[in-house]
Amino acid sequence: MGLRDLTAAGQIAAVLAGETSSEELLDAHLAAIAADDVDAFLAVDAEGARARAREIDAMPERPPLAGVPIGIKDALSVRDVVTTAGSRMLEGFRPLYTATCVARLEAAGAVVVGKTNMDEFAMGSSTENSAFKNTLNPWDHGRVPGGSSGGSAAAVAERQVPWTLGSDTGGSIRQPAALCGIVGMKPTYGAVSRSGLIAFASSLDQVGPFARTVEDAALLLRHMVGRDPMDSTSLDWPGEIAAPTATDLSGMRVGVVDELMGDGIEPGVRAAVDAALGTIEELGGTVVPVSLPSALSGLATYYVLAPAECSANLARFDGVRYGPVAPAANLLDQYETTRGDLFGPEVKRRMMLGTFALASGYYDQYYGRAQRVRTLMVREFAQAFEKVDLLASPTSPTVAFPLGDRTADPYAMYMADVCTIPVSLAGLPAISIPCGLADGLPVGLQLAGPAFSENALLGAAHALEGALAFDTRPPGLVT
Amino acid sequence: MSAYEPVIGVEIHVQLSTRTKMFCGCELSFGDPPNTHTCPVCLAHPGVLPVVNEEAVRRALLIGLALGCEIAPRSIFHRKNYFYPDLPKAYQISQFDIPICGRGEFRALREDGSELLVGITRAHLEEDAAKLTHAGGRRAGAAESVVDFNRGGTPLVEIVTEPDLRSPSDVALFLRQLRQTLLFLGVSDCSMEEGSMRADANVSIRPVGSHEYGTKTELKNMNSFRFLERGIEAEIARQEEIVGAGGRVSQETVHYEPDTGHITSLRSKEESHDYRYFPEPDLVPIAPDPAWVEELRAGLPELPLPLRRRMVGEMGLSAEDAEVLTEGPELVVYFLEAAALADPKACANWIRGELRAQLREAGVEPWQSKVTPAHVAALVGLLDAGTVTVPAAKEVMAEVIVSGEDPADVVESKGLGAMDEGDLAAVVAEIVAANPDQAQQLRDGKNKVIGFFVGQTMKRTGGRADPQSVQRLVREAVRGD
């Protein structure tokens, strides 16, 4: 077993046992990135990573994350490292500061090796909206890795790094985790600071971990959560994210959301999820059906609110203060040409949608109404959690789809997030773990819980992970 | 008498003089080199988030409390979207339907003693835009425009009044007294010239006796009360002319040219802006602890209007004294400290008169000088006790201005104490004896001659004689002859 086959926790243990060093770990992973055939990374900071790894190796007492390498979604600012959010609008842009969550991980001893590919400004479910390149699914190079955090998911599945950070607005961590056969978690809204996360939809965006094991995801999350004075919407996480140890689910009541098990779910996905529900019962859990009627309006609600917020969030990109700028005769021309040339079609589509949804005369009909549905959804989830401890559903209605399959049909692409969006709108934590294969492609199971139930979620996911014994190694991957 | 009545409401933007900006840690500055007080947050770099300046909230609350506004238990920020080079995020963080301060009212005092009551619609918190400078003056047709982000993100409170004002002079009066109140609160520099206080007026006219509102125009951003007053006058005249000729006033933004006295339409096209307001998702609601609000309310300084009433009613000051002394918070504090220790009217006279006159040359205000309020009170006390004469007191003050010494010590060391009555009587007797002709004239009823004796006595005594006593002693001496 090579160094890359160790989990992050395993790598930390190996460093602490003196069996390897941070720099040796870095070399092993940099070599994998160099030989990359899934195009997971947009930028690699080998020099900076090496300097940091040596620094950590020289420390008499290793920090908790012991210099284990990490990949960061390109939506997160890392000082002096090119950060583009997958857009030509920020080509070559080097931020002046580091996102709080990244800075916290660095302080805990993580070594940032580079920035991973993503859908432009996190808008998409396949990473095909990246302005720079497609990332391939490690399980089938003809298929998408999911998105928007596709690069982060593929990098972990391909064992180029043991863990990465992604951001999730409507499913952008959970869905690619499902499609790439790994673990991905979206924490409670406010649990992780958004400072330094290039905003897509501020009221939904949340940073979270990708890893091959639930234990690793928990470990990474432990060092990220907590109030940040730079983010007014961040909160003190009550207590500490614990190392998950549960091996059974006795006494656990798991609700299966009727509305998310309907017609749109592929048979192979349904079969794998049903099998996982059986495993939950075998582990001592009780599975009960629950109804979240407004979940069916989730997609429509999301595609009003998120575009509305993004229409304002992305208005700052005008080429004046940073980023490339198109030559123009006057200011208006400069705005129009820069924005017209450098934003991709999906980003423009959503900004147009959002601008329309906020227009006077339409506001109440769209934005106002969507907010009311969102409030209703929060209430329905709260009611559901009076009856059950966790909710289970497929993470994605389908397995990874072929590259190019949905690029011409935005609505089909939006459907990829139908199961993950309601949880996002309610601001709740959710985790996706691989629960089996359908036609040789991974299927993800989504578990969602009440606000700040991360420890319960991670515990349940850990118990289930042990029983399901899913092999995260994609076929043909040589480590 | 015009057949029309003007109806005017004003919107006032007040830059808060906090140490840092509204949503980031950059220090506020005026006059520093351009773009030296900026950071990723106020330049709207990718990924940054706003964080509310608590001191700005405190000051907004003080303003609201002083204006008698309802304080919202929970108010929220909105994004106001528009593209302009002075707005790096392309939206301004402002407040929309739930401002921090709701309805209130402001009372101003006219010169004739009547009261002007102005309803306050709201006061809300927002951030200022950056400063644009257009080469070649006005922005239309400017060859080049440059932007200074130092000002961008400065905390602003926007105060909106009801359309309660009926004359340009009332508008100016209201704004002057509002400004004074804001100065008393210590929340802003309120400098019209430097733009830390800016006022727009919404002006319409209607037939006298009508209760409906006419179409209003917005008179933008005048940089002095005088220009604003004149601009409103000109705008009223323009509207009266239009309506008088059977025309209709169109809703637009207008600009007053102080040089020509003309009103020009500024940007009726941009008026159709749709700002697409929506709740700012990066910020949580402002929900001030009620105990904190009560603490602020209890700690409000005495405001100009009630203070002026107290000065006249309880302290025996003239209306003019009261107005002059409440010009600014520093002078008022100075006066009140002195008035607590000695006769308020005498303190007022000395501060307004001799002290300011003597300090004027050095360009120093009383509170900046070495003369403390206690010094003023001490001097008034010395006068009261007859320890010094008025001319000597002026000399003492001049000395205190230089040395900062205690007035009593100055009197002692400079020998400026008033002369003993017996000694003074002897001097007067001598002078009367030496000038028999003048003494006879006085006996004959030529009262003017007394001035001659007083002058002679003052000269001889070096100002240490009390002129009143001298007059009395001269008469006694002449009669006794």
Using one digit for the tens of pLDDT, what is the confidence trace for A30-81?
999 999 889 999 999 999 999 999 999 999 999 999 999 999 999 999 999 9
Distance CA A73, CA A99 (A): 11
Q: Who's near B115: CB < 8 A, 6+ residues apart? A: B107, B108, B109
pLDDT value at B270 more than 90:
no
Percentage of chain B modeled with pLDDT above 70:
96
Q: Which residue numbers of B have CB closer than 8 Å to A's CBs? A: 40, 43-52, 79, 81, 83, 85, 88-91, 274, 276-278, 281-284
CA distance B347 to chain A (A): 51
Using one digit for the tens of pLDDT, what is the confidence trace for B69-123?
999 999 999 999 999 999 999 999 999 999 999 999 999 988 787 899 999 999 9
Distance CA A54, CA A151 (A): 26
Cis omega before residue B369 (within 30°)?
no
Whether A73 is a known active-site residue: answer yes
What is the reported pLDDT for B1?
Answer: 57
What is the reported pLDDT for B141?
Answer: 61
Q: Are strands A253-257 and A390-394 parallel, antiparallel or unpaired?
A: parallel
- Where is mean pLDDT largest: A63-72, B262-271, B346-355? A63-72
- Say if the Cβ atoms of B81 and A367 lie within 8 Å: no
- Where is mean pLDDT largest: A262-266, B91-95, B393-397? B91-95
Count, residues in chain A: 479
Using one digit for the tens of pLDDT, what is the confidence trace for A207-226?
999 999 999 999 999 999 99
Task: Determine which one of A87, A125, A172, A453 is catalytic.
Answer: A172
- Min mean pLDDT across A377-386, A408-417, B296-305, B454-463 is at B454-463
Q: Who's near A94: CB < 8 A, 6+ residues apart? A: A79, A80, A81, A82, A83
Using one digit for the tens of pLDDT, what is the confidence trace for B180-208?
999 999 999 999 888 999 999 999 999 99
Contact B346, B390 (CB under 8 A): no
Percentage of chain A modeled with pLDDT above 90:
95
CA torsion sign for B108, B112, B114, B117 is: negative
What is the reported pLDDT for A470?
Answer: 98
Three-state SS for chain B is: CCCEEEEEEEEEEEECCCCECCCCCCECCCCCCCCCCCCCCCCCCCCCCCCCCHHHHHHHHHHHHHCCCCECCCECCEEEECCCCCCCCCEEEECCCCCCECCEEEEEECCCCCEEEEEEEEEEEEECCCEEEEECCCCCCCCEEEEECCCCCCEEEEEEECCCECCHHHHHHHHHHHHHHHHHHCCCCCCCCCCCEEEEEEEEEEECCCCCCCCCEEEEEECCHHHHHHHHHHHHHHHHHHHHCCCCCCCCEEEEECCCCEEEECCCCHHHCCCCCEECCCCCCECCCHHHHHHHHHCCCCCHHHHHHHHHHCCCCCHHHHHHHCCCHHHHHHHHHHHCCCCHHHHHHHHHHHHHHHHHCCCCCHHHCCCCHHHHHHHHHHHHCCCCCHHHHHHHHHHHHHHCCCHHHHHHHHCCCCCCHHHHHHHHHHHHHHCHHHHHHHHCCCHHHHHHHHHHHHHHHCCCCCHHHHHHHHHHHHHHC
Mean per-residue pLDDT, A266-280: 97
Would an 8 Å CB–CB cutoff place A82 in contact with chain B? Answer: no
Question: What is the helix (H) or strand (E) element at residue A168, kind and residue range?
Answer: strand A163-168
DSSP secondary-structure letter at A68?
A: -
Band of residue B224 on the pLDDT scale cut at 50, 70, 90? confident
Whether A360 is a known active-site residue: answer no
Whether A172 is a known active-site residue: answer yes
Contact A289, A260 (CB under 8 A): no
What is the reported pLDDT for B470?
Answer: 85
With beta carbons under 8 A apart, name residues in chain B contacting A317.
46
What is the reported pLDDT for A327?
Answer: 87
- Say if the Cβ atoms of B47 and A196 lie within 8 Å: yes
Task: Determine which one of A21, A22, A148, A167 is catalytic.
Answer: A148
Would an 8 Å CB–CB cutoff place A77 in contact with chain B? Answer: yes
Topology at the third CATH level for domain B421-480: Arc Repressor Mutant, subunit A (1.10.10)
**Chain pair A-B, CB pairs under 8 angstroms:** 98
- Strand-pairing partners, residue A116, are A41, A73
What is the reported pLDDT for B31?
Answer: 86
CA distance B106 to chain A (A): 33
Mean per-residue pLDDT, A407-427: 93
With beta carbons under 8 A apart, name residues in chain A contacting B284.
232-233
Q: Who's near B14: CB < 8 A, 6+ residues apart? A: B63, B156, B157, B158, B159, B182, B187, B188, B190, B196, B197
User: Which of A316, A365, A366 is best to mutate for the B interface (most B CBs within 10 A)?
Assistant: A316
With beta carbons under 8 A apart, name residues in chain B contacting A320.
85, 88
Q: Which of A198, A232, A355 sits opposite B46 (nearest CB)?
A: A198
Distance CA A109, CA A187 (A): 21
Mean per-residue pLDDT, B275-294: 97
Where would I find the H helices in A181-297?
214-222, 267-282
- Say if the Cβ atoms of A363 and B81 lie within 8 Å: no
Q: List, as one string, the DSSP characters of A29-61.
A: HHHHHHT-SS--EEEE-HHHHHHHHHHHHT-SS
pLDDT value at B137 more than 80:
no
Using one digit for the tens of pLDDT, what is the confidence trace for B365-388?
999 999 999 999 999 999 888 888
Q: Which residue from B minimizes the CA distance to A322?
A: B45
pLDDT value at B268 more than 60:
no
Structural domains of chain A in order of their starting residue, each with its CATH number: 3-247 (3.90.1300.10)
With beta carbons under 8 A apart, name residues in chain B contacting A82.
none
What is the reported pLDDT for A276?
Answer: 98
Contact A301, A370 (CB under 8 A): yes
Position of tokens 């089909």?
A412
Percentage of chain A modeled with pLDDT above 70:
100
CA distance A44 to chain B (A): 20
Position of tokens 């099998």?
A275
pLDDT value at B391 more than 70:
yes
What is the reported pLDDT for A113?
Answer: 98
Distance CA A72, CA B424 (A): 96
Would an 8 Å CB–CB cutoff place A196 in contact with chain B? Answer: yes
Structure-block tokens of residue B259:
């040089």
Q: Average pLDDT over chain B, rounded to whole?
A: 91
- Say if the Cβ atoms of B281 and A197 lie within 8 Å: no
Q: Are strands B253-257 and B262-265 parallel, antiparallel or unpaired?
A: antiparallel
What is the reported pLDDT for B481?
Answer: 47
Question: What is the helix (H) or strand (E) element at residue A432, kind and residue range?
Answer: strand A430-438
Count, residues in chain B: 481
Side chain identity at B425, as an amino acid letter? A
Q: List, as one string, the DSSP characters of A443-460.
A: EEEEEE-STT-HHHHHHH
Distance CA A69, CA A164 (A): 9
Give domain limits for chain B.
Answer: 4-290, 302-414, 421-480
